[in-house]
Amino acid sequence: MSRAGVDLAMPPRTKPAAPKRTKAQTNGPSEIAPGVFVGGWNDALRFDGARFCVLDEAPDDMPAATHIPVYDERSGAALRSNLDRLAKAIGTARADGRPVLVFCGHGVRRSPLAGAWYLHRSEKLPLEAAYDRVRAVRPKIETVGAWMGDAGSLEGS
């Protein structure tokens, strides 16, 4: 109830709400390659350029972005075909001169995976070396091996 006595209860959501930003994620998006950034939800709200959301499901209140999920929570596996599709879309946007933001909830799991995959594909880096590049500018990320298991199977498939 509000002070005016009006019931402000919200109906149940069918999709997740925007993730809450914590103090640790207040530094903005991180540039992993010229014009290519990884970040979290709040970064997407302020970003001027092509935005790619890599959350499993696109929330109803998502900022204008192309939604390409990169992880299937049910199987616990990355979606390699979507990672490849995303890497190509990032390359196309960069070729058009647009800056790119890849974002997830907090910018520590899915968007770093997507950014590392882009570097892996575009620069022919081993996936671990690509993660090292992302970690150099965004130290609090979790590598795919830390939250998903065997990263080598993703790279080798």
Contact 54, 110 (CB under 8 A): yes
- Residue-by-residue DSSP string for the chain: --TTS---PPPPPSSPPPPPPPGGG-S--EEEETTEEEE-HHHHHH--SEEEE-SSS--TTPPS-EE---EETTTTEE-HHHHHHHHHHHHHHHHTT--EEEE-SSSSSHHHHHHHHHHHHHS---HHHHHHHHHHH-TT---HHHHHS-HHHHHH-
- The whole-number pLDDT of residue 59 equals 84
Q: What integer best gives the mean pLDDT of the chain?
A: 83
Q: What is the pLDDT of residues 83-125, one digit of tens each?
A: 999 999 999 999 999 999 999 999 999 999 999 999 999 999 9
User: Domain 25-156 belongs to what architecture?
Assistant: Alpha-Beta Complex (3.90)
Q: Which of the two residues, 15 and 126, has the higher pLDDT score?
A: 126
Q: What is the pLDDT of residues 133-148, one digit of tens each?
A: 999 999 999 877 766 6
Contact 113, 70 (CB under 8 A): yes
For 49, counting Cβ atoms within 10 Å of its Cβ (0-12 exposed, 13-18 middle, 19+ buried), the class is middle
- The whole-number pLDDT of residue 27 equals 75
For 79, counting Cβ atoms within 10 Å of its Cβ (0-12 exposed, 13-18 middle, 19+ buried), the class is middle
- The whole-number pLDDT of residue 153 equals 65
Calculate mean pLDDT across residues 31-54: 96
